[in-house]
Amino acid sequence: MEAATGYLRIGELSRRTGVAPELLRAWERRYGLLQPARSEGGFRLYSDADERRVELMRQHLRRGLAAAEAARLAAEGGDGTAVEQRAGSSPELAAGAARLRSALDGFDEAQAQAALDDLFAAFTVETVLGGVILPYLVELGERWSTGEATVAQEHFASNLIRGRLLGLGRGWDAGDGPRALLACAPGELHDLGLIAFALTLHRRGWRITYLGPDTPVESLAETAERLAPALVVVSATSKRRLTPLREALALLAGKTKVVVAGAGAGDGVDGIEALASDPVTAALAV
């Protein structure tokens, strides 16, 4: 990290951020995004905060915001991640998350269901997924890997949440939108992230065909052949679940658009695009 006093000139900032100098000046002039100090001779001297603002600006642009709006948000220092924004701006969401967590940790089904009820009642599905459920699952995974959480806990929580999410997905293959075919890679059992992704897609108008965890490639290919979906998504938490599928997926990708998702997707496999790690943001990007 750069020292707080380390001032950058425009060329260096441009190199670091990948934004052309002309554009940096345009953003300053048009939106007041940056207010760099000046050297004696008039050169712009950017601080670390300026660099952060540029990164934020780029994030917002990548998500499709207009430059003017992206600049407005970036100038306010708005954190780019929807999760933290929402959790930070809403004590109710944080309270609901805490309630859910303590109920699940204590194997208290009734409390957990009630907490989920309140959350879904007060917030949109996307907000609850991205702001509570997915973060909880990540945390649970970490606690499991460090031995803080038991297998039983993980199963209890997963099954309860899976039931709720599948309930939300009722009728998700109806309608007239494009169809998406989703499945976990062979051997992969963690399907909650994929379900969250499917839910978000459905709420954007997609029809969903969900094959579930541990799906053989043949089944996937066969189903894809029959349904001719607009998109096929394969999810895996580890890269080693995907590498054996390279050839089959490449073959499939010749006919339909195929993407990989989940922590194992990395930057994509053999030219097949990878989705963002956060299912909700990923769905918005499709």
Q: Which of residues 5, 40, 145, 171 is near DNA by CB under 7 A? A: 40
Q: Is residue 101 within 8 Å of 136, Cβ to Cβ?
A: yes
Size of the site for DNA (CB under 7 A): 24
Nearest approach in angstroms of CB 54 to a copy of itself is 10
Q: Which two tokens mark 130?
A: 């991205």
Which single residue is written with the structure tokens 């805490």? Answer: 98
List the single partner that 49 binds among DNA, a copy of itself, none, CB under 5 to 8 Å by kind. Answer: none
- Amino acid in the structure at residue 21: P
Residue 88 contacts residue 97 (beta carbons within 8 Å): no
Tokens 């000139």 map to which residue? 9
Q: How far, in Å, CA of 137 to CA of 147, rounded?
A: 15
- Asked whether position 26 contacts DNA by CB under 7 A, the answer is yes
Residue 138 binds which entry of DNA, a copy of itself, none, with Cβ cut-offs from 5 to 8 Å by kind?
none
What are the φ/ψ torsions at residue 16 (nearest 5 degrees)? -70, -35
The torsion angles phi and psi of 232, rounded to 5 degrees, stand at -120, 130
* 175 residue type, one letter: G
Distance of alpha carbon 100 from alpha carbon 89, whole angstroms:
19
First-to-final CA distance of the chain: 33
Residues in the chain, total: 286
Q: Does 9 bind a copy of itself (CB under 8 A)?
A: yes
Residue 23 binds which entry of DNA, a copy of itself, none, CB below 5-8 Å type-dependent: DNA
Told to check if 176 binds a copy of itself by CB under 8 A, we report yes
Q: Which stretch binds DNA (CB under 7 A): 17-25, 72-80, 97-105, 202-210?
A: 17-25
Toward DNA, which CB reaches closer, 9 or 257? 9
Binding site for a copy of itself (CB under 8 A): 1, 3-4, 6-9, 12, 15-18, 39, 43, 45, 52, 55, 58-60, 62-66, 68-70, 72-73, 76, 78, 85-86, 88-93, 113-114, 116-118, 120-127, 131, 167-168, 170-171, 174-178, 203-205, 284
Binding site for DNA (CB under 7 A): 9-12, 14, 20-23, 25-27, 30, 39-44, 61, 66-69
